[in-house]
Amino acid sequence: MQYRELTVPGAWEITPTLHGDPRGVFLEYFKDAPFAEATGHGFDLQQANCSVSAAGVLRGIHFADVPPGQAKYVTCAKGAVLDVVVDVRVGSPTFGQWDSVLLDDVDRRAIYLGEGLGHAFMSLEDDSTVLYLCSTGYAPGREHGVHPLDPEIGIAWPTTGRDGSPLTAQLSDKDTAAPTLAQAREQGLLPDLATVQEYVRSLRR
């Protein structure tokens, strides 16, 4: 299992070791010791989610108030998605920047997004199945979004699917109505980097 920190600090790409034979494949997609060694703290699993999406479905950009925020460890069990992390932490040197990891049922990578980071993904194939391990449970009153097509962020979303067919982004009503990054900042919705860092430090004590 290999960890690679992304260009947005606090997010990692995780590449597992695949053990295959004529029967199929076995892998460990999460393991506590390598996770703690890479991130400096353990992962407190409080909720596990599963979403199934048609090709072109675009979910996000979602984030939660910090503390406690909601860290996510995400993988794709079936199909393929482009998974994106966005730095929405006010005061961060990489504020507004994004990075991505292709999650699919071939390499079976995962992505970890720490507290205070924005998360989004686009499905590249019908029935793409995404599994999320979450550090806190769903709490609608402290969860927010930024529009995934905000030109200020400028995410390069795929325009063709896994099979080469054209993709049309499909957003929920909630994500369509989400503010831009600038609007979310003006509304005081975004987490503050110093607050996020202090909270993450408290996890290591």
Spacing of C-alpha 169 from chain mean position: 18
- Rounded (5°) CA angle 116-113-3: 140
CA gap 6, 65 in Å, rounded: 22
Among candidates 29, 129, 149, which has minimal Cα distance to 80? 129
Task: Clarify whether 147 is annotated catalytic.
Answer: no
Q: Are 88 and 95 in contact (CB under 8 A)?
A: yes
Residues facing 47 on adjacent strands: 134
Tokens standing for 189?
């919705």
How many angstroms separate the CA atoms of 20 and 32, rounded? Answer: 23
Dihedral (Cα; 41, 78, 164, 160), 10-degree rounding:
-40
62 is known as an active-site residue = yes
Catalytic residue among 119, 132, 138, 144: 132
Q: Which of 62, 119, 144, 147 is catalytic?
A: 62
By annotation, the residues acting in catalysis are: 62, 132
